[in-house]
Structure 1
Amino acid sequence: MIRELTLATGLALVGQSGLAACADQEGMCETASGGYHIELPKDENPPLVVFLHGYGGTATGTLKNRGMVEPLLERGYAVMAPEGSERNGRQSWNFFPGWEGRDETAFLTEAVQDAVDRFGVDTDRVVLGGFSAGAFMVYYLACAAPDTFSAYVPVSGGFWRPDPESCDGPVRMFHTHGWTDNVVPLEGRLLGGGRFHQGDIFAGLEIWRVANGCVDTKPSGFSTTGSFMRRYWSGCDDGSALEFALFPGGHTVPKGWADMMIDWYEGLPGG
């Protein structure tokens, strides 16, 4: 019954931007620090993908991306879309060290616990993903508190300069990025008249290799999934995983990402 109501709400949401979804309930799921939307699969006690929208996006907009959401539901995963906090009049995430605002790690932990209590999602199988500014948030949360989620799957985002001197580890991360992304270029870019500087994605991968105790900088292997060109690092600490996937497009969550990411996650020990 929940699945039917969830899909009905989701389909209505696609057609009417004013609607929100809290599984089988109308409106956003509210917690003390914010809110989120969620859609549930048929199975009980499902794993959960938490996906963070980009700058100026919304939780509602995340669930409108049916090319991402439907494959996750079909694979048996619940999909949570948290609502960002206001930054400069738009919804985003308080990711950069030293910024004032909501404690996003506390909020996301609170939202997941709320979903555990309300809907019975599996607290041991929660993956944190995000796009653009949402991916920035994923990077910084994983750096500071890698045990918060079971894996991290950012799309089109990384660190800002100055890069963190180090990150805690181990971390299990699958980073996806567009070859022609000109909003968050692989090499980074200046923002705000030079006040901010998006970092180099490959420099960020070096930080993750160090955090994971990888013995070498060169990739251990390569593969392709459709148009995705993938590389991974092994010979790292137990409990870690690091993979990078490039696709030929720009600043977007690419078609096929959801299934590729779940295949990676389910191939991990304990995934």
Structure 2
Amino acid sequence: MYLKPKKSLGQHFLRNFSVVKKIVKTLDLKVGETVVEIGPGTGVLTEELLKTNARVVAVEKDDQLAALLKKRFENHRNLEVINEDILDFSPHNSQFLIHNSGFKVCGNLPYNISGRILETALEVWPKPEKIVFMLQKEVAEKLCAKPPKMAVLPAINQFLAEFKILFSVSRKNFFPQPKVNSAVLEIIPKKQNVFQVYPELKRFIKSGFAYPRKYLISSLSDKLGIGKDSLKKAFQALKFSEKIRPGELKPEQWLELYLEHSGQNRV
């Protein structure tokens, strides 16, 4: 049965089996563990995941592909196919996860919503043990950025997890062939979190990056309506230059600045 990839869903099917095997190896799945696969497509990665004897929760938005997967793997008791948009999916609704909080996540992400999927996995779901995503190489590189090349995406997400590019994947390994290359990214969610202050911290960082070429003190003052004198006191207390730009701060320095300015001594 041939199914034409749908451009509206950002479908690009991986056809290199060596890449599939490397992804599964990175997940280091044990018998009885559970992995959530995002966008399984035709089931190339799904098949390899099932060989580990792990329980696989395959979440597929495309109705036709979900039906194909159910038919193809109908004899596999370790597979649960859920026909749903991943942005609406909750691990608590999976029969494999309802009594099991620990799980891993993997997937070849559609480029157009990869950021929203990452946000969902790290901020909305219960914390996964490990995430292995294949996504646009440029996005993967941004997520791993360090000062002075930090941007809002890594500045926020590096509070929640550690990011590491494992290897690149040429666009020639997909059908249809996308315009850009991909990379496989390993993401390890951090045990220690900042969720007590995270919503306001996230807003603080986004405001700081509103004008990335401006001095940080000016961006924060303009976007948050904070007097510069108040910000200068926080900068001086932390020995930050008033001429520092947002891309020059490490994630932990953003936290220090937020706590100092807000008058909170600890998370």
Q: TM-score range by the shorter chain?
A: 0.3 to 0.5
Q: Return the index of the structure with the highest Cα Rg.
A: 2
TM-score, normalised to structure 1's length? 0.35
TM-score if structure 2 supplies the norm length? 0.35
Structure that is richer in helix per residue: 2
